[in-house]
Amino acid sequence: MRQPFKNNQGFTLMELLVAMTVFLLVVGLSSGVFLQTLRSQRTITNISESMNNVTITLEQIAREMRTGFDFENPSSDRIGFRDGYGNYVAYALVSLGENGSGPHAIGRCSEEICGTEDDFKPVTSSNVEIDGLRFVLKNGRVPLITVAAEVSIDSKRDEKEASITLQTSVSSRIIDKNG
Amino acid sequence: MAKLNWIKKQQGQLLIEAMVAVSLMLVGLLGIFGVLSRSLGLSRVAADQFVAVNLASEGIEIAKNILDKNFLAVGASWNAGFFDGEEYYVDYRSEGLGDCTTDELYFTGQGFYECNPVGNTKSKFKRVLEVAIKADGNMVAVKSTVNWTARGGLNSDVTVEDHFYNWRKP
Protein backbone atom coordinates (compact mmCIF):
# COMPACT_ATOMS: atom_id res chain seq x y z
CA MET A 1 0.00 0.00 0.00
CA ARG A 2 1.43 3.32 -0.99
CA GLN A 3 1.31 6.01 1.54
CA PRO A 4 2.07 9.17 -0.35
CA PHE A 5 2.02 11.53 2.60
CA LYS A 6 4.00 9.47 5.00
CA ASN A 7 7.35 11.18 4.42
CA ASN A 8 5.86 14.61 4.26
CA GLN A 9 6.25 16.30 7.58
CA GLY A 10 4.93 19.67 6.48
CA PHE A 11 6.88 22.91 6.82
CA THR A 12 8.68 23.80 9.98
CA LEU A 13 8.26 27.24 11.49
CA MET A 14 11.80 28.13 10.41
CA GLU A 15 11.11 27.17 6.81
CA LEU A 16 7.93 29.19 6.81
CA LEU A 17 9.67 32.22 8.29
CA VAL A 18 12.52 32.06 5.79
CA ALA A 19 10.12 31.65 2.88
CA MET A 20 8.03 34.58 4.05
CA THR A 21 11.09 36.77 4.53
CA VAL A 22 12.37 36.00 1.07
CA PHE A 23 8.91 36.57 -0.37
CA LEU A 24 8.53 39.90 1.42
CA LEU A 25 12.01 40.97 0.34
CA VAL A 26 11.26 40.22 -3.29
CA VAL A 27 7.83 41.85 -3.24
CA GLY A 28 9.21 44.90 -1.44
CA LEU A 29 12.04 45.32 -3.89
CA SER A 30 9.94 44.95 -6.98
CA SER A 31 7.18 47.22 -5.76
CA GLY A 32 9.81 49.81 -4.86
CA VAL A 33 11.21 49.62 -8.35
CA PHE A 34 7.71 49.80 -9.78
CA LEU A 35 6.87 52.92 -7.77
CA GLN A 36 10.14 54.56 -8.73
CA THR A 37 9.41 53.76 -12.37
CA LEU A 38 6.03 55.43 -12.14
CA ARG A 39 7.58 58.46 -10.46
CA SER A 40 10.31 58.98 -13.01
CA GLN A 41 7.91 58.31 -15.84
CA ARG A 42 5.78 61.15 -14.47
CA THR A 43 8.84 63.43 -14.32
CA ILE A 44 9.82 62.58 -17.88
CA THR A 45 6.30 63.17 -19.18
CA ASN A 46 6.21 66.45 -17.29
CA ILE A 47 9.50 67.64 -18.78
CA SER A 48 8.64 66.72 -22.33
CA GLU A 49 5.12 68.10 -22.12
CA SER A 50 6.39 71.37 -20.65
CA MET A 51 9.05 71.73 -23.28
CA ASN A 52 6.62 70.92 -26.10
CA ASN A 53 4.12 73.46 -24.83
CA VAL A 54 6.60 76.28 -24.41
CA THR A 55 8.38 75.59 -27.69
CA ILE A 56 5.22 75.63 -29.74
CA THR A 57 4.05 78.78 -27.98
CA LEU A 58 7.38 80.54 -28.57
CA GLU A 59 7.15 79.47 -32.20
CA GLN A 60 3.66 80.94 -32.49
CA ILE A 61 4.74 84.19 -30.84
CA ALA A 62 7.79 84.38 -33.12
CA ARG A 63 5.71 83.74 -36.23
CA GLU A 64 3.25 86.45 -35.33
CA MET A 65 5.96 88.95 -34.45
CA ARG A 66 7.90 88.32 -37.63
CA THR A 67 5.13 90.00 -39.62
CA GLY A 68 4.16 92.36 -36.79
CA PHE A 69 4.61 96.10 -36.36
CA ASP A 70 3.74 98.93 -33.96
CA PHE A 71 5.35 97.13 -31.05
CA GLU A 72 4.52 98.54 -27.64
CA ASN A 73 7.31 99.01 -25.20
CA PRO A 74 6.91 95.81 -23.23
CA SER A 75 6.37 95.81 -19.52
CA SER A 76 8.37 92.96 -18.05
CA ASP A 77 5.92 90.18 -18.84
CA ARG A 78 3.59 91.66 -21.45
CA ILE A 79 3.88 92.91 -24.99
CA GLY A 80 1.35 94.18 -27.50
CA PHE A 81 1.68 94.75 -31.23
CA ARG A 82 -0.21 94.64 -34.51
CA ASP A 83 0.03 91.40 -36.45
CA GLY A 84 0.37 91.05 -40.22
CA TYR A 85 -3.35 91.73 -40.71
CA GLY A 86 -3.21 94.89 -38.63
CA ASN A 87 -5.08 93.33 -35.70
CA TYR A 88 -3.95 94.08 -32.18
CA VAL A 89 -2.38 91.10 -30.39
CA ALA A 90 -0.94 90.94 -26.90
CA TYR A 91 0.91 88.23 -25.02
CA ALA A 92 1.30 88.14 -21.26
CA LEU A 93 1.91 85.86 -18.33
CA VAL A 94 -1.48 85.10 -16.78
CA SER A 95 -2.52 83.05 -13.79
CA LEU A 96 -5.12 80.38 -14.29
CA GLY A 97 -6.64 80.59 -10.81
CA GLU A 98 -8.63 83.34 -9.15
CA ASN A 99 -6.83 86.54 -8.11
CA GLY A 100 -3.37 85.62 -9.28
CA SER A 101 -3.36 82.19 -7.69
CA GLY A 102 -2.87 78.86 -9.33
CA PRO A 103 -0.49 77.86 -12.09
CA HIS A 104 0.66 80.42 -14.60
CA ALA A 105 0.35 80.18 -18.35
CA ILE A 106 1.21 82.23 -21.37
CA GLY A 107 -1.90 84.13 -22.44
CA ARG A 108 -2.79 85.63 -25.79
CA CYS A 109 -5.28 88.41 -26.29
CA SER A 110 -6.62 89.37 -29.69
CA GLU A 111 -9.16 91.96 -28.54
CA GLU A 112 -8.67 95.58 -29.48
CA ILE A 113 -8.25 96.45 -25.80
CA CYS A 114 -6.54 93.98 -23.49
CA GLY A 115 -7.13 95.57 -20.12
CA THR A 116 -7.64 92.74 -17.69
CA GLU A 117 -6.26 89.27 -17.34
CA ASP A 118 -9.62 87.84 -18.43
CA ASP A 119 -9.02 89.15 -21.95
CA PHE A 120 -6.10 86.77 -22.28
CA LYS A 121 -6.74 83.18 -23.30
CA PRO A 122 -4.14 80.70 -22.13
CA VAL A 123 -2.14 79.11 -24.92
CA THR A 124 -0.14 76.72 -22.76
CA SER A 125 -1.60 73.72 -21.00
CA SER A 126 -2.92 74.09 -17.46
CA ASN A 127 -0.60 71.39 -16.17
CA VAL A 128 2.47 73.22 -17.40
CA GLU A 129 3.75 75.81 -14.94
CA ILE A 130 5.29 78.88 -16.57
CA ASP A 131 7.52 80.52 -13.97
CA GLY A 132 8.27 83.60 -15.97
CA LEU A 133 7.75 85.34 -19.29
CA ARG A 134 9.91 88.28 -20.28
CA PHE A 135 10.10 90.50 -23.33
CA VAL A 136 12.74 92.94 -24.46
CA LEU A 137 12.15 95.24 -27.39
CA LYS A 138 15.07 96.81 -29.18
CA ASN A 139 13.07 99.36 -31.01
CA GLY A 140 14.17 101.26 -34.01
CA ARG A 141 13.33 101.05 -37.65
CA VAL A 142 13.94 97.30 -37.51
CA PRO A 143 12.47 96.06 -34.23
CA LEU A 144 14.11 93.10 -32.54
CA ILE A 145 12.03 91.41 -29.88
CA THR A 146 13.53 88.97 -27.41
CA VAL A 147 11.24 86.52 -25.66
CA ALA A 148 12.32 84.42 -22.70
CA ALA A 149 10.00 81.89 -21.11
CA GLU A 150 10.89 80.07 -17.94
CA VAL A 151 9.19 76.74 -17.51
CA SER A 152 9.18 74.75 -14.31
CA ILE A 153 10.12 71.11 -14.64
CA ASP A 154 9.45 70.14 -11.04
CA SER A 155 8.34 66.65 -10.45
CA LYS A 156 5.53 67.09 -7.98
CA ARG A 157 6.71 64.26 -5.76
CA ASP A 158 10.23 65.25 -4.78
CA GLU A 159 9.52 69.02 -4.64
CA LYS A 160 12.72 69.87 -6.42
CA GLU A 161 12.85 73.44 -7.68
CA ALA A 162 14.08 73.36 -11.24
CA SER A 163 13.25 75.39 -14.25
CA ILE A 164 14.53 75.84 -17.77
CA THR A 165 14.58 79.11 -19.66
CA LEU A 166 13.98 79.14 -23.38
CA GLN A 167 14.94 82.30 -25.17
CA THR A 168 14.61 83.37 -28.73
CA SER A 169 14.59 86.64 -30.63
CA VAL A 170 12.62 87.77 -33.63
CA SER A 171 13.46 90.49 -36.09
CA SER A 172 10.34 91.94 -37.63
CA ARG A 173 10.24 91.64 -41.41
CA ILE A 174 8.19 94.79 -41.65
CA ILE A 175 10.77 97.53 -41.62
CA ASP A 176 10.17 101.24 -41.39
CA LYS A 177 11.60 102.46 -44.69
CA ASN A 178 10.93 106.14 -44.17
CA GLY A 179 12.20 106.40 -40.61
CA MET B 1 18.41 9.00 11.69
CA ALA B 2 18.54 8.56 7.93
CA LYS B 3 15.69 11.00 7.55
CA LEU B 4 17.47 13.66 9.60
CA ASN B 5 20.61 13.35 7.46
CA TRP B 6 18.55 13.89 4.35
CA ILE B 7 17.15 17.15 5.68
CA LYS B 8 20.63 18.30 6.74
CA LYS B 9 21.99 17.83 3.22
CA GLN B 10 19.17 19.73 1.58
CA GLN B 11 19.17 22.81 3.81
CA GLY B 12 22.33 24.37 2.37
CA GLN B 13 21.16 23.93 -1.17
CA LEU B 14 17.86 25.59 -0.40
CA LEU B 15 19.63 28.69 0.87
CA ILE B 16 21.90 28.79 -2.15
CA GLU B 17 18.95 28.41 -4.48
CA ALA B 18 17.18 31.25 -2.73
CA MET B 19 20.26 33.45 -2.93
CA VAL B 20 20.70 32.74 -6.61
CA ALA B 21 17.06 33.56 -7.25
CA VAL B 22 17.25 36.81 -5.30
CA SER B 23 20.47 37.89 -6.99
CA LEU B 24 19.05 37.12 -10.43
CA MET B 25 16.09 39.26 -9.53
CA LEU B 26 18.40 42.03 -8.32
CA VAL B 27 20.29 41.99 -11.60
CA GLY B 28 16.99 42.37 -13.43
CA LEU B 29 15.87 45.22 -11.20
CA LEU B 30 19.23 46.96 -11.60
CA GLY B 31 18.75 46.74 -15.35
CA ILE B 32 15.37 48.40 -15.03
CA PHE B 33 16.93 51.12 -12.88
CA GLY B 34 19.63 51.67 -15.47
CA VAL B 35 17.08 52.10 -18.24
CA LEU B 36 15.12 54.49 -16.03
CA SER B 37 17.99 56.77 -15.17
CA ARG B 38 19.12 56.74 -18.79
CA SER B 39 15.68 57.77 -19.94
CA LEU B 40 15.60 60.56 -17.35
CA GLY B 41 19.01 61.74 -18.55
CA LEU B 42 17.91 61.64 -22.18
CA SER B 43 14.82 63.67 -21.45
CA ARG B 44 17.11 66.34 -19.97
CA VAL B 45 19.26 66.18 -23.11
CA ALA B 46 16.08 66.76 -25.11
CA ALA B 47 15.27 69.76 -22.92
CA ASP B 48 18.76 71.17 -23.57
CA GLN B 49 18.21 70.67 -27.28
CA PHE B 50 15.00 72.69 -27.12
CA VAL B 51 16.89 75.56 -25.50
CA ALA B 52 19.79 75.28 -27.96
CA VAL B 53 17.56 75.30 -31.05
CA ASN B 54 15.88 78.48 -29.84
CA LEU B 55 19.23 80.12 -29.10
CA ALA B 56 20.58 79.11 -32.50
CA SER B 57 17.60 80.56 -34.33
CA GLU B 58 18.02 83.69 -32.23
CA GLY B 59 21.50 84.03 -33.75
CA ILE B 60 20.00 83.93 -37.25
CA GLU B 61 17.41 86.55 -36.35
CA ILE B 62 20.10 88.85 -34.93
CA ALA B 63 22.04 88.57 -38.21
CA LYS B 64 18.85 89.31 -40.16
CA ASN B 65 18.22 92.34 -37.97
CA ILE B 66 21.71 93.70 -38.65
CA LEU B 67 21.31 93.14 -42.40
CA ASP B 68 18.00 95.01 -42.40
CA LYS B 69 19.55 97.87 -40.45
CA ASN B 70 22.37 98.00 -43.00
CA PHE B 71 19.78 98.35 -45.74
CA LEU B 72 18.22 101.34 -44.00
CA ALA B 73 21.51 103.01 -43.14
CA VAL B 74 22.45 105.68 -45.65
CA GLY B 75 25.55 104.88 -47.65
CA ALA B 76 26.25 101.48 -46.09
CA SER B 77 26.46 98.36 -48.19
CA TRP B 78 23.76 95.81 -47.46
CA ASN B 79 26.18 93.35 -45.95
CA ALA B 80 28.46 95.79 -44.12
CA GLY B 81 30.21 94.04 -41.26
CA PHE B 82 29.77 90.56 -42.74
CA PHE B 83 33.04 89.07 -43.95
CA ASP B 84 33.53 85.78 -45.70
CA GLY B 85 34.81 82.96 -43.52
CA GLU B 86 34.65 84.94 -40.30
CA GLU B 87 33.18 83.78 -37.01
CA TYR B 88 31.21 86.18 -34.87
CA TYR B 89 29.70 86.22 -31.40
CA VAL B 90 26.46 88.08 -30.82
CA ASP B 91 23.64 88.41 -28.35
CA TYR B 92 20.23 90.02 -28.47
CA ARG B 93 21.61 93.45 -27.56
CA SER B 94 24.14 93.47 -30.43
CA GLU B 95 24.06 96.40 -32.80
CA GLY B 96 26.60 94.81 -35.11
CA LEU B 97 28.29 91.49 -35.64
CA GLY B 98 31.10 90.85 -33.23
CA ASP B 99 29.70 93.00 -30.45
CA CYS B 100 30.42 90.10 -28.15
CA THR B 101 33.95 89.08 -27.33
CA THR B 102 33.14 85.58 -26.17
CA ASP B 103 31.08 82.72 -27.46
CA GLU B 104 29.90 81.90 -23.95
CA LEU B 105 26.34 82.82 -23.07
CA TYR B 106 25.73 84.05 -19.55
CA PHE B 107 22.44 83.87 -17.74
CA THR B 108 21.38 87.19 -16.26
CA GLY B 109 19.42 87.88 -13.11
CA GLN B 110 16.56 89.13 -15.29
CA GLY B 111 16.48 85.74 -16.97
CA PHE B 112 18.11 86.31 -20.34
CA TYR B 113 21.01 84.72 -22.14
CA GLU B 114 23.61 87.32 -23.06
CA CYS B 115 27.36 87.44 -23.61
CA ASN B 116 28.20 89.84 -20.81
CA PRO B 117 29.98 87.94 -18.02
CA VAL B 118 29.82 90.73 -15.43
CA GLY B 119 27.43 89.88 -12.64
CA ASN B 120 25.92 86.98 -14.54
CA THR B 121 26.18 83.24 -14.16
CA LYS B 122 27.74 81.21 -16.91
CA SER B 123 25.35 78.97 -18.78
CA LYS B 124 26.47 75.83 -20.52
CA PHE B 125 25.64 77.18 -23.97
CA LYS B 126 28.05 78.72 -26.46
CA ARG B 127 27.03 80.30 -29.74
CA VAL B 128 29.09 81.01 -32.86
CA LEU B 129 27.89 82.61 -36.09
CA GLU B 130 29.80 81.59 -39.21
CA VAL B 131 29.44 83.87 -42.19
CA ALA B 132 30.05 82.99 -45.82
CA ILE B 133 29.58 85.44 -48.68
CA LYS B 134 28.51 83.92 -51.96
CA ALA B 135 27.03 84.84 -55.35
CA ASP B 136 29.33 87.84 -55.97
CA GLY B 137 28.45 89.42 -52.68
CA ASN B 138 24.72 89.07 -53.26
CA MET B 139 24.20 86.28 -50.80
CA VAL B 140 25.16 85.96 -47.16
CA ALA B 141 25.03 82.49 -45.63
CA VAL B 142 24.85 82.54 -41.84
CA LYS B 143 25.41 79.37 -39.88
CA SER B 144 24.47 79.63 -36.22
CA THR B 145 25.89 76.88 -34.05
CA VAL B 146 25.09 76.40 -30.38
CA ASN B 147 27.12 73.83 -28.53
CA TRP B 148 27.07 72.69 -24.95
CA THR B 149 28.41 70.03 -22.66
CA ALA B 150 25.73 68.00 -20.97
CA ARG B 151 26.03 66.75 -17.42
CA GLY B 152 27.58 63.47 -18.43
CA GLY B 153 30.35 65.30 -20.29
CA LEU B 154 28.77 64.63 -23.66
CA ASN B 155 29.30 67.38 -26.21
CA SER B 156 26.29 68.25 -28.31
CA ASP B 157 25.59 70.94 -30.84
CA VAL B 158 22.79 72.32 -32.91
CA THR B 159 23.30 74.20 -36.14
CA VAL B 160 20.80 76.39 -37.95
CA GLU B 161 21.68 77.88 -41.32
CA ASP B 162 19.97 80.59 -43.31
CA HIS B 163 20.78 82.41 -46.54
CA PHE B 164 20.02 86.08 -47.05
CA TYR B 165 19.92 87.69 -50.48
CA ASN B 166 20.45 91.22 -51.68
CA TRP B 167 16.94 91.49 -53.08
CA ARG B 168 15.94 94.78 -51.52
CA LYS B 169 16.89 97.62 -53.80
CA PRO B 170 16.48 101.11 -52.40
Residue A51 lies in a domain: yes
Which of the four pLDDT bands, split at 50, 70 and 90, describes residue A177?
confident
Whole-model pTM: value is 0.83
Q: What is the mean pLDDT of residues A53-80?
A: 90
**pLDDT tens per residue across span A7-59:** 667 778 888 898 899 889 889 988 998 898 898 888 888 888 889 999 999 99
- Smallest Cα distance from B134 to chain A, Å: 22
- Range B139-149 burial, b when 16+ CB lie within 10 A, else e: ebbbbbbbbbe
Closest CB from A22, A142, A167 relative to B18: A22
CB pairs under 8 A between A and B: 108
Question: Rounded to 5 degrees, what angle do the CA atoms B67, B72, B78 make?
Answer: 40
Residue A61 lies in a domain: yes
pLDDT of residue B144: 95
| Domain range for A141 | 26-171
Residue A137 lies in a domain: yes
Residue A20 lies in a domain: no
d(Cα A108, Cα A110) in Å, to the nearest integer? Answer: 7
Task: Say yes or no for a CB contact (<8 Å) between A166 and B18.
Answer: no
Which of residues B147 and B77 earns the better pLDDT score? B147
pLDDT of residue A6: 63
Residue A143 lies in a domain: yes
Which CA distances in Å does B21 have to A26, A35, B14, B17, B26? 10, 22, 11, 6, 9
Per the structure, the count of domains in chain A is 1
User: What integer best gives the mean pLDDT of chain B?
Assistant: 86
The answer, yes or no, to whether residue A84 has pLDDT greater than 80, is: yes
- A159 by DSSP, 3-state: which? coil
Q: What is the mean pLDDT of residues A136-156?
A: 85
Query: How many C-beta neighbours within 10 Å does residue B102 have?
Result: 14
**pLDDT tens per residue across span B11-64:** 567 778 878 888 898 898 889 888 888 888 888 888 899 999 999 999 999 999
Residue A106 lies in a domain: yes
Residue A16 lies in a domain: no
Residue A21 lies in a domain: no
